[in-house]
Amino acid sequence: MKLFSGTIPTSTTLYVPLNVVDGTIGAYIAWLDATSSATITVELTSIPGVSPHVAGAAWHWKDSGETFTGPAATAAGALLVNIANARQNSARLKIVTAAACAFEIYDEVKS
């Protein structure tokens, strides 16, 4: 399932919700050009009713320890996110751009 498709402007933070299915999280993140540059972090929470689309209070979301420093403005490419044993109820990607980024993001968890 496609979770996001589009361009994120320079110096922008975007949050993309991820599905947690039986304690697993999986995503395919593709950047479509050689100029995209961003840092991507998987964040988790178990607090009910917290929106995954906005920053929220600092204590609502906690980084999972999975941070990716790419794309790095060198070539089109992709990365896979595969996390097992996620014990929180909700997950999201926090994407912080250093340059405009063209992304396609897909859910890879099989339910």
- CATH number of 42's domain: 2.60.120.680
* Residue 47 domain boundaries: 2-107
Kind and range of the H or E element at 94?
strand 90-99
pLDDT tens column, 36-65: 999 999 999 999 999 999 998 989 999 999
pLDDT at 73: 81
Tally of domains in the chain: 1
Vertex 3 angle, CA 71 and 67, to 5°: 40
The model's pTM is: 0.93
Burial class (CB in 10 A: 0-12, 13-18, 19+), 49: exposed
Contact 100, 10 (CB under 8 A): yes
Count other C-beta atoms under 10 Å from residue 11's C-beta.
10
pLDDT at 5: 97
